[in-house]
Amino acid sequence: MSSNATKDHPQLAAIFNRDEPRVDWHDETLWWVRAKRDIAAHKLPEWELLRETASQIKNNVLSNLSTYLEQFEANAINNGIIVHWAATAEEHNKIIYTLLEKRGISRMVKSKSMLTEECHLNEYLLKQGIDVIDSDLGERIVQLAGEPPSHIVLPCIHKKKEEIGDIFHEHLGSAKGESDPKILTETARQHLREVFLTRRAALTGVNFAIAETGEFVICTNEGNADMGAHLAEIHIASMGIEKIIPERKHLGVFLRLLTRSATGQPITTYSSHFSKPQDGKEIHIVIVDNGRSIQLGREDFRNSLKCIRCGACMNTCPVYRKSGGHSYHTAVAGPIGSILAPNLDMEKYADLPFASTLCGSCSNVCPVKIDIHDQLYKWRQVIVKAGYTPKAKTLAMKGMAFTLSSPMIYRAAGKMGRFTFKYAPFAVNNGANPWYKHREMPKAPEQSFGEWYAKRKENKK
């Protein structure tokens, strides 16, 4: 187990922040992507109408989810797709392993799928003797580095090109010290070409599943999902139950929003539709719940299931940009991950809803209008009531509540605080105070606002 496995967000963020230059360019790069999103959005006069339309379509889906899932299953089966249902991550992993084992397949190529990251599929299959190669370039880089993705769209955004060059030199035999992105990309291309041609099984994610037709759509910029799926004997698609949209005509709304929100592109390079298998081949789709039904039943949090995994909330979030994706210690990082993860394990992920300034920027850029910052605030309340906050924080909040509930105690505490700031600043300005680590503590005022106001009022008489 990694030494980071037991650390919470503040501790992991502190590790990331040791490398200040990395933090700076991580912050600047993601903000540059956010700016590209703004330019793309402002070019469409109907942008807000698209967001509202997508939001309402997803509201309809969540209100009729079982009906649309059954409709999708029936149409997919009619198309020749084999449908499997998995209630948990464990069931999902076992289904995929069984499909491979029955065919004597020990090597598989996989394109990007955050659901398989959530289910820890790679680790599970490795234990069963199945070799899995991630074919998305960013995913392959972090896989070779022995790390999880740090971003749902830009998996290796935390890596410098020089570090990627070192990884490729060690694992793929590129020249030592080579850091030219074009050469590194060509190295990966040659490496993956052999993988595509020799793997009998390919796994993909699902961006959208259309109930009306039984087809599913995969959006990529590299074409790696298509290469894997079309060359393999068996194509396995992993899909969360929330990926459903009612009709094919609705797809255009989401395709216009998805990539503009993610990277500022008008549309992904490839938007591939899969509706039936080629002759002599098979398509299997594994539809996964893994806690989503529970989230659907939480009135305050069900809208989080509208997420289309664009990553816009990460690109805009000041906390994510300054703390890195791995500080969230869950498959989906950032603001959206912080409202999804507590549903899976409230105690384990109790720290994540507090990793936010509640500025609301995440909600402002969300293409399906999820009220992310409101849900972060509500999760805090749920977590505190459940008793999952650190004892020190719980005691501090109780002390603050006691102080603020009494005007007399509040005034006395204010005087004591001003006295301490003025005559014993070392009691506050030290490493034990988390605020002092990154901020200069203010100079103590001579009087409180209440005292100033009372004196001003007296002078006016």
Using DSSP's 3-state secondary structure scheme, residue 222 falls into coil
Count how many domains the chain has: 3
Give yes or no: residues 194 and 321 share one domain: no
* Interval 79-111: pLDDT, tens: 999 999 999 999 999 999 999 999 999 999 999
Range 220-231 average pLDDT: 94
Using DSSP's 3-state secondary structure scheme, residue 266 falls into coil
Give yes or no: residues 263 and 334 share one domain: no
Dihedral (CA of 281, 287, 290, 295) sign: positive
Cα–Cα distance between 167 and 174 in angstroms, integer?
A: 9
Give yes or no: residues 42 and 167 share one domain: yes
Give yes or no: residues 264 and 404 share one domain: no
* Interval 291-348: pLDDT, tens: 999 999 999 999 999 999 999 999 999 999 999 999 999 999 999 999 999 999 999 9
DSSP string covering 305-331, please? GG-----HHHHH-HHHHHH-GGGG-SS
Using DSSP's 3-state secondary structure scheme, residue 239 falls into strand
Give the number of other Cβ atoms within 10 Å of residue 40's Cβ.
19
Range 64-89 average pLDDT: 98
Record the pTM.
0.90
Residue where a domain stops, chosen among 340, 359, 386: 386
Q: Is the pLDDT confidence value at 51 over 60?
A: yes
Domain containing 366 equals 295-386
Give yes or no: residues 191 and 306 share one domain: no
Using DSSP's 3-state secondary structure scheme, residue 218 falls into strand
Range 193-220 average pLDDT: 97
Structural domain includes residue 18: no
* Interval 241-281: pLDDT, tens: 999 999 999 999 999 999 999 999 999 999 999 999 999 99
Residue where a domain stops, chosen among 360, 386, 412: 386
Using DSSP's 3-state secondary structure scheme, residue 227 falls into helix
Give yes or no: residues 356 and 403 share one domain: no
State the Cα angle at 431 between 425 and 433, rounded to 5°: 70
In order of 135, 198, 228, the CA distances from 142 in angstroms are 11, 22, 19
Give pLDDT, residue 4: 61
Strand boundaries in 227-356, DSSP class E: 234-240, 244-245, 270-274, 282-288
Cα–Cα distance between 225 and 204 in angstroms, integer?
A: 6
Spatial contact of 209 and 260, defined as CB atoms under 8 Å apart? no
Structural domain includes residue 12: no
Which CATH number covers residue 379?
A: 1.10.1060.10
Q: Which two tokens stand for residue 39?
A: 């330019």
Q: Is the pLDDT confidence value at 2 over 60?
A: no
Cα–Cα distance between 369 and 304 in angstroms, integer?
A: 10
Residue the block writes with tokens 């490795």 = 126
Give yes or no: residues 309 and 266 share one domain: no
The pLDDT-based confidence of 1 (bands split at 50, 70, 90) is: very low
Structural domain includes residue 15: no
Residue where a domain stops, chosen among 267, 290, 313: 290
Burial class (CB in 10 A: 0-12, 13-18, 19+), 139: buried
Which CATH number covers residue 79?
A: 3.40.50.10420
Give yes or no: residues 268 and 405 share one domain: no
Dihedral (CA of 350, 354, 356, 358) sign: positive
Structural domain includes residue 5: no
What are the backbone angles phi and psi of residue 239, rounded to the nearest 5°?
A: -140, 130
In order of 26, 250, 291, 318, 324, the CA distances from 315 in angstroms are 10, 26, 26, 8, 11
Give yes or no: residues 348 and 425 share one domain: no
Tell which residue, 239, 204, 240, has the closest CA to residue 223: 204
The distance of Cα 110 from the centroid of its chain, to the nearest Å, equals 19
Give yes or no: residues 220 and 180 share one domain: yes
Structural domain includes residue 377: yes
The distance of Cα 102 from the centroid of its chain, to the nearest Å, equals 33
Q: What is the mean pLDDT of the chain?
A: 94
Give yes or no: residues 207 and 320 share one domain: no
Cα–Cα distance between 360 and 46 in angstroms, integer?
A: 22
Structural domain includes residue 436: yes
The pLDDT-based confidence of 180 (bands split at 50, 70, 90) is: very high
Give pLDDT, residue 3: 52
Q: Is the pLDDT confidence value at 461 over 80?
A: no
Give pLDDT, residue 5: 64
Give yes or no: residues 437 and 302 share one domain: no
Give pLDDT, residue 418: 87
The distance of Cα 235 from the centroid of its chain, to the nearest Å, equals 25
Structural domain includes residue 265: yes
Structural domain includes residue 3: no
